[in-house]
Amino acid sequence: MKNVLIVVEKSESSLWLAYYAMGLTHRIDARVSILMVVDEEYSDLCGDSGQWIGSPEKRLESVLAEDHSDSAHINYYVTRGRMEEEVPKFIRENAISKMFIGHPEGRRPDAYAKLMKVIDAVNTTTHCEVEVVQKVSAHSKRK
C-alpha cells in the first residue's frame, strides 16, 4: 500500500485539494494524509485574497467530515514553517511514496518559483514521486 501526501497551505483556494484527496481514497489503495503547511511567505506569494472562514484547521476538518464513506480515512496534520523544509521532513518521517501539490493559481512567477523550491527540496532529499495538480473548473467557458 502506498503512503500518499496531499500538501495544502492556508489559503482558501487550496481547499479543493482536500476534495481531491477524498476522491483519491476511492480510486487507489493508499493511505492518504493531508499536510497543511502554514507558510506566510508562500501564502503571500500566491496572493490569495480569499481568507478561510474560521480557522483553516477547522475548515479542513469540516470538509473531510463531509465524506461519510467507511473506506475513506484521511489523516491530516498542520505545521508551521517554510514549505521547502516542512514538506520533505514530513515525507521522510512518514515514509511517503507519492506527493500531490497544487499549482499556484494565476500567473505569478514568484509563487511558481516557491513551488519549484518545494519540489526541488523533495526531489533532492527524498525518494518521493511528485505530482503537481491544477484546479480545473467544469464550468469554464470554452472558446
pLDDT tens track for 47-92: 444 454 556 667 777 767 776 555 567 888 989 999 999 999 999 9
Residue 122 domain flag: yes
The range of the structural domain enclosing residue 22 comes to 2-133
Compute the average pLDDT of residues 102-111: 82
The span from the CA of 32 to the CA of 52, in Å, is: 23
| Overall number of domains in the chain | 1
Residue 140 domain flag: no
Residue 17 domain flag: yes
Residue 19 domain flag: yes
How many Cα neighbours within 13 Å face the side chain of 54? 7
Residue 143 domain flag: no
CATH number at residue 58: 3.40.50.620
Question: pTM value?
Answer: 0.78
Residue 138 domain flag: no
